[in-house]
Every structure is written in structure tokens, then in C-alpha cells.
Amino acid sequence: MSLRSHRKKPIPIVFSIVGDPKATGIIRTYEDSGKNITGVNMKVDVKEQFDMVKEVLPEMETLGIIYCTEMPQAVVTGKEAAAATLESGWTPLTVSFPKRDLPQLEKIINLLSKKVDAIYIPTDPILDSPANLQTIIHISDKHKIPVIAVAEKFVEDGVLMAVHCDFYEIGRQAADPIVQVLSGVNVRKIPSQKPTIKKLSLNLKKAQDLNIKIKRQVILKTDNIID
């Protein structure tokens, strides 16, 4: 008799390294996934990111937002970024394009850099790839325009800053839904969670290269400094 014939219920799934589970269709809502799945994602609310951006770049007026339309989570977080930009008192300038236009990325960034005070890359696996990210950084650096991203690694790669989750803490946080599942709680009744611990990574060398003065109180808040 096969193992499948003994399995009367689907095995519960608890995720821990997911960018935006709702945008990618993994869950229906944070309260009820609609499926046999729950977990902790990596998404830090854009408004929370921008509250820190205000402290790093207090004179910013126009924010460029760029993403590739092939990525559902990039489209969702890009639109969230545009709304959060307005909430922050800035003017958003959004540039979205299909993957087939990537050969024009240098031209796109060159034009965008002439119109904005900073560039924000939302959760976009295409633009976050090493080659594309370096293109964005290289061109924006020429215009003395800082780039803001969503992960510590990208700050190490040359963007100015990121407010992001901590992977170790995500793993610790995921223990809670796991314990609930093992205790017999229906996985659909366990809400999916966003990270409770967020961190600020700041590239001080890039700030110096771009002639951006970082206040001491901001540096004291920084969890990871790249210099």
C-alpha cells in the first residue's frame, strides 16, 4: 500500500523566505491563506522604509521608482511605493517596463536620474540581479543620485541604503506558527506574519562619494554600516 493512500490530510506548510506572499499568489490574505499554508515573509512596509529615508535624505522632493512589469511582486510593491511617496510628501516618478526593454536600462536610468533626487527599487528579482543592479548603480552614480533598495546585500553591492528584514530573526519568528501547527491548530487559522524586527543598512562610503551628509543620530540607528 502506498504512502499516499495513508495520507488523509494535506501536510501543513510554513514558509519563511518569501518576498510578498499575497502578490505572488501564495496566500489569499494575511488572515486566511485560503490554502494549507502560513508563515513569515520578508516584506517591510514601504512607508516604514520611507520614514527612515526621510532621515537620511531630508531634502528629497522627487523619488524615482523603477520596476519590471513581468514580476507581480514588483508591480504591487512599486504601486505601494508610489502611494507611500505621496504620503511622505514627495513627488513620485514611476518608470515601469517589460523585460524585453532591459537592453535600454542604461538609457532609462540616465533619463530618470536627471529628474529625481533618489531612485527606489522595490522587490524586483529582475532589476535586483547583479548585472542589472550594477548598471543602475553605475549610471545613477554618474548623476550623484542615490539608490535605495530593500535588502542588506544590495547596500553591500553599492546602493546607499535599505530598511530590511533579518533572515536569522525571520527564522526565529517562524517558530511560532510551527509550534501552533504542531499543537494541532488548523494552519488556515494561523495568520501569515510580516517581520517584527527590521534593520537599517547604510553605505557610508557611497554617501561620501555622493556628497551626502549623514547625521550622527542616523548613524547611531544604523544596524549595518558599509564603509
**Percent of the chain having pLDDT more than 90?**
81
Question: Higher model confidence: residue 127 or residue 23?
Answer: 127
What Rg value do the Cα atoms of the chain yield, rounded? 20
Which of 16-30, 39-53, 56-70, 154-168 is predicted least confidently? Answer: 16-30
Q: What is the mean pLDDT of residues 160-183?
A: 94
Q: What is the mean pLDDT of residues 113-132?
A: 96
Task: Enumerate the domain spans of the chain.
Answer: 3-42+166-189
Q: Which helix (H) or strand (E) holds 154?
A: helix 152-157
Q: Which residues contact 138 (CB under 8 A, 6 or more apart)?
A: none
Cell representation of residue 72: 507581480
SS3 98: coil
Q: Which helix (H) or strand (E) holds 15?
A: strand 13-15
User: Which is nearest to 202 in space by CA: 217, 186, 184, 185?
Assistant: 217
Q: Per residue in 98-121, pLDDT tens? A: 999 999 999 999 999 999 999 999
Neighbours of 21 (CB within 10 A): 24
Q: Per residue in 4-29, pLDDT tens? A: 444 557 889 999 888 888 878 888 88
The CATH architecture that domain 3-42+166-189 belongs to is 3-Layer(aba) Sandwich (3.40)
**Rounded to whole angstroms, how far apart are CA atoms 68 and 90?**
22
Question: Higher model confidence: residue 3 or residue 148?
Answer: 148
